[in-house]
Amino acid sequence: YDSYAVAGGMMVGGIPIWRLPREVTHEETDEYMEALGVDMRFNTTIGRDVQLTDLVNEYQAVFIAAGCQVPKAITGPDNKVIPGVDFKGVEQGLPFLEKVNFGEPVAIGKKVVVLGGGFTAMDCCRSAIRFGAEKVYVLYRRTKEEMPSDEYEVDEAMLEHVEFQYLVTQTEILSNDGEHVSGIRMVRNKLGDPDSSGRRRPVLIPGSEYVIECDTIIAAFGQDSDSAWIPKDLALETNRWGLPLIDRNTWMTSRPGLFAGGDYTEGARNLISAIADGRDAATAINRYLSGPEKGATEAIEIELPDFRRGMVDDYEAIPWEVIPSLPLAKRFSISVESETGYSPEEAVEQARRCLQCQLNIQIDPSICILCSGCVDICPYDCISMQGLKAVVKGDKLHQIAGADWDGGADMIIDEEKCIRCGLCIVRCPTDAIAMVKYEVASVNDRWNVSKIPVIQPEKAGGRR
């Protein structure tokens, strides 16, 4: 059941065609899902056309993956809605992008202001340029370094002549005729103490108000989940925002057979995380319907031939190449992808730059003989032998108070310098060094880490 007329959710509604071509999403939704026999029912809004209670009673399992659909309010420094939000010409980011993506009429003025600093803001400002806006501003209340958007996104927008203003907050939307937007009043900020998110809180500077003339304002502060359509008669356990609480291991709500996940329960994130949630939830639902044994999925362990990663000789020799894009003069079509992407050969070459940070060297102190062989062979001097006084300082000294300070030592690995070449493993005469792969044990149990031994490079004399 989908309120959109096509499948794909945020991929087709919230991401512009010039960023994510529709042939890519259509291949996934139209070909693969239809081939699997999925019955897609479009233009159906739950709570209006169909009631959730009826679906729960009709189906053995129901999964809520509604995402975040409610735009956040346009508030000022006092966190209250600012005057003028109802003037014509004021748009919200997601509804604006839905018009862009579904071919609905888009009324864009000559001077456009985009409020916000995330990916939605970048999509909105660059889409406005493609719809003929002559001047586009992005106004953000913190500094450039604190913007949620990638630096690459900002650079691309600036290349397309978008102007960025930082450390500013909106206080009022203006209108000359009392009906249409004519400008927005801003105030300059300075950064104060960190807020609950850990970022420094913007503090307005008295007397620094100024006005930007504009005829369109797009608020791109993100979205929240909507709980208004969840019937009270389901008696679900909810959090303080009214959203269903779920079991992190099963994705099930307090109502048996009713599941929820993705951005709807986790908050707005990215496509990869939401799709991963969907896969894990599907596995959990299959287990719920089929039983633990039939619904289980098995992990497959694949042994690869031993090899030494070829990073020592050419490490840092492969520079980062900017993702190829269309020339500026050719990229302003709303339906043409602006990034042409790497060729297969370029993609493979860029992938070789990966440092495999999930792989980490571990030294077993019970069999390490402190021979310094690993220190000698390390090409980047990231392994060192340190005395105990250098390892343990301050209030931790009492934990090893009985140790021999003069003779004690430990092997220290600088993870930031380590390139995971594996030479120290080959050199170690006692097999005290191992390459260990760390990965999240479960998407639902995000803070548990499992250690998976990696096949060791071949040792001298044929040992492994």
| 335 falls within a domain | no
Is the pLDDT at 392 greater than 70? The verdict is no
| 392 falls within a domain | yes
At residue 101, the pLDDT reads 94
| 236 falls within a domain | yes
At residue 43, the pLDDT reads 96
Same domain, 191 and 117: yes
CATH code: domain of residue 392: 3.30.70.20
Is the pLDDT at 12 greater than 70? The verdict is yes
DSSP 3-state of 52 = helix
At residue 297, the pLDDT reads 61
Is the pLDDT at 141 greater than 90? The verdict is yes
At residue 120, the pLDDT reads 94
Same domain, 190 and 86: yes
β-pairing, 135-139 vs 111-115, is parallel
Same domain, 169 and 253: no
| 349 falls within a domain | no
| Percentage of residues in the chain having pLDDT higher than 70 | 84
Question: Residue 35 carries which side chain, given as an amino acid letter?
Answer: A
Same domain, 267 and 390: no
Domain boundary among 257, 290, 323: 290
DSSP 3-state of 434 = strand
Same domain, 75 and 57: no
Is the pLDDT at 449 greater than 60? The verdict is no
Mean pLDDT lowest for which of 197-201, 420-424, 458-462?
A: 458-462
Same domain, 65 and 82: no
**Separation of alpha carbons 214 and 61, rounded Å:** 49
At residue 437, the pLDDT reads 74
At residue 448, the pLDDT reads 40
At residue 446, the pLDDT reads 43
Mean pLDDT lowest for which of 20-34, 236-250, 288-302, 391-405?
A: 391-405
Residue-level length of the chain: 464
* Mean pLDDT on 155-170: 97
Single pTM value for the model:
0.76
Is the pLDDT at 400 greater than 60? The verdict is no
**Separation of alpha carbons 257 and 143, rounded Å:** 46
Same domain, 51 and 80: no
* Mean pLDDT on 2-16: 93
CA nearest to 219, candidates 189, 266, 184 = 184
> From the centroid of its chain, how far is CA 373?
41
pLDDT tens for 106-125 read: 989 999 999 999 999 999 99
| 111 falls within a domain | yes
Of 353 and 177, more confident:
177
**Separation of alpha carbons 352 and 137, rounded Å:** 38
* Mean pLDDT on 56-62: 97
Q: Which of 256-265, 353-362, 381-390 has the highest mean pLDDT?
A: 256-265
At residue 313, the pLDDT reads 52
Same domain, 109 and 153: yes
Helix axes 93-101, 119-130, angle to 10 degrees: 50
pLDDT band of residue 33 (cuts 50, 70, 90) is confident
**Separation of alpha carbons 15 and 98, rounded Å:** 8
Is the pLDDT at 459 greater than 70? The verdict is no
Tokens of 53: 């209670």
pLDDT band of residue 464 (cuts 50, 70, 90) is very low
Q: How many domains, the chain?
A: 3
Of 164 and 414, more confident:
164
β-pairing, 162-165 vs 168-174, is unpaired
| 262 falls within a domain | yes
| Percentage of residues in the chain having pLDDT higher than 90 | 59
At residue 352, the pLDDT reads 81
At residue 335, the pLDDT reads 87
Same domain, 99 and 63: no
CA nearest to 137, candidates 55, 238, 210, 77 = 210
DSSP 3-state of 22 = helix
CATH code: domain of residue 187: 3.50.50.60
Q: Which of 252-256, 405-409, 456-460 has the highest mean pLDDT?
A: 252-256
**Separation of alpha carbons 174 and 213, rounded Å:** 9
Same domain, 208 and 236: no
What's the mean per-residue pLDDT of the chain? 85
pLDDT band of residue 248 (cuts 50, 70, 90) is confident
What is the biggest distance separating any 2 CA atoms in the chain, rounded to whole angstroms? 87
**Separation of alpha carbons 92 and 95, rounded Å:** 6
| 400 falls within a domain | yes
Same domain, 56 and 75: no
Residues whose CB falls within 8 Å of the CB of residue 241, separated by 6 or more in sequence, listed in order: 224, 225, 227
Q: What is the DSSP letter of 159?
A: H
**Separation of alpha carbons 401 and 404, rounded Å:** 8
Domain boundary among 171, 197, 222: 222
Same domain, 245 and 212: no
* CB atoms inside a 10 Å sphere around CB 78: 10
Residues whose CB falls within 8 Å of the CB of residue 141, separated by 6 or more in sequence, listed in order: 117, 167, 168, 169, 189, 202
At residue 184, the pLDDT reads 99
| 313 falls within a domain | no
pLDDT band of residue 452 (cuts 50, 70, 90) is very low
Domain boundary among 177, 195, 222: 222
- Per the structure, the complete domain to which residue 143 belongs is given by 71-222
Is the pLDDT at 461 greater than 50? The verdict is no
